[in-house]
Amino acid sequence: MRCVLVSKSLDLRGYLGPQFLRDADRIEIVSHPLDGPATDIRLAVAWHPPDDAFERYPNLQAVCSIGAGVDNILACPSLRPDVDVIRVVDPAQAQMMSGFVAWHVIGHQRRFATYQAQQREEHWQRLGQRRAQDVAVGILGFGEIGRRVATDLALLGFPAMAWSRTPKAAPQGIRGFNGAPGLDAMLGQTEVLVNLLPLTPETRGILNRATFARMCRGGYLIQVGRGEHLVEADLLAALESGQLAGAALDVFANEPLAPRHPFWRHSRIVVTPHDACEVSVDAIGATFRATAEAIRAGRRPPHSIDRARGY
């Protein structure tokens, strides 16, 4: 079997490394673009593929992402509807994301940003402490990562809630919500909102003025989904009005964040460079090999997304 690496924004050979290439059992890996159509290509590994990338591979059966997100692949105009798109599932990634989110939740609970400002001013003033039980956290997205984040926050004592488009069984100690009525109900009780949603037409722009207005006043946003989820002007307005006390932003519609963007120097925004977590090359390799084995056996690969839902 031959596999093609397709990306317009990343050197996939350099990113995946020589070990990945050596471990590709009975697979010849080539780089896009090839000269003319390649009818023997049945598998691709991709990240932000060029618009015409998949036109050259008429017998392509599956495309593996190098991350949990697949929106950049689904947006490719040359991707045929019958091609399976595979996301990576990495338990280590969920652990890293959970630690990142917990750090920001606790920072909001304990008013660490205010203490940092006081330190710069050499000002000594205790602000009083709040219990974790008094800071309700609402999580948008209840997949593998969302479940880990919710579970860990609950263990730390925070009331953890999670919302998904359709009903999902929630672990003990976590309140689950779904659908439009469920979103309204969860937001009305949410002080800290964590976005872990996939990017779909329905979720684009979901972090907007109306969403912020339904949260508890003085709330906090942790944005680790996709940059296009956030309406930037609405966040700035919510911070200005006091509806939100602060925000932690790790993803942006345009990356890297442009010089002189208002987020850089905003006193109540924490900016990190899309570094909340990352998928390990080992997990990518395991997903790649499982996909290749499924194609050889005539099965649908594991972790294939639902193309209609976009995740």
Per domain, the residue ranges of the chain are 2-90+279-297, 91-271
The separation between CA 45 and the C-alpha centre of its own chain, rounded to angstroms, equals 19
Other Cβ atoms within 10 Å of 192 Cβ, number: 26
CA distance to 9, 186, 242, 270, 300, per residue, from 215 (Å): 37, 9, 12, 20, 41
User: What pLDDT score was predicted for residue 9?
Assistant: 86
User: What pLDDT score was predicted for residue 135?
Assistant: 98
- Mean pLDDT per 10-residue interval, the chain, length 311 residues: 92 89 82 85 96 95 94 96 95 96 98 96 96 98 96 98 95 96 98 97 97 98 98 98 98 96 97 95 93 96 92 87
Over the range 91-101, which residues count as b (16 or more CB within 10 Å of their CB) and which as e?
Answer: eebbebbbebb
Q: Which CATH superfamily is domain 91-271 in?
A: NAD(P)-binding Rossmann-like Domain (3.40.50.720)
pTM of the model: 0.92
> Does the annotation mark 300 as catalytic?
no
Which of these is catalytic: 2, 274, 289, 307? 274
CA-CA distance, 152 to 160, in Å (whole number)?
9
User: What pLDDT score was predicted for residue 22?
Assistant: 77
| Beta-bridge mates of residue 88 | none
Could you tell me the end-to-end alpha-carbon distance of the chain, in angstroms, rounded to an integer? 27
User: What pLDDT score was predicted for residue 310?
Assistant: 87
> Does the annotation mark 56 as catalytic?
no
Determine whether 2 is exposed, middle or buried from the number of CB atoms within 10 Å of its CB (0-12, 13-18, 19+). middle
Structure tokens at 210: 């109306």
CA-CA distance, 180 to 193, in Å (whole number)?
16
Q: What CATH number labels 2-90+279-297?
A: 3.40.50.720
For residues 108 and 135, the answer to whether their CB atoms sit within 8 Å is yes
Structure tokens at 307: 């193309």
Task: Say whether 91-271 and 2-90+279-297 share the same fold.
Answer: yes
Q: Are strands 137-140 and 84-86 parallel, antiparallel or unpaired?
A: unpaired
User: What pLDDT score was predicted for residue 78?
Assistant: 97
Other Cβ atoms within 10 Å of 66 Cβ, number: 24
Over the range 24-57, which residues count as b (16 or more CB within 10 Å of their CB) and which as e?
Answer: beebebeebeeeeebeebbbbbbbebbeebbebb
Which of these is catalytic: 56, 108, 226, 303? 226
Select from 44, 94, 45, 48 the least CA-distant residue to 71.
48
User: What pLDDT score was predicted for residue 33?
Assistant: 86
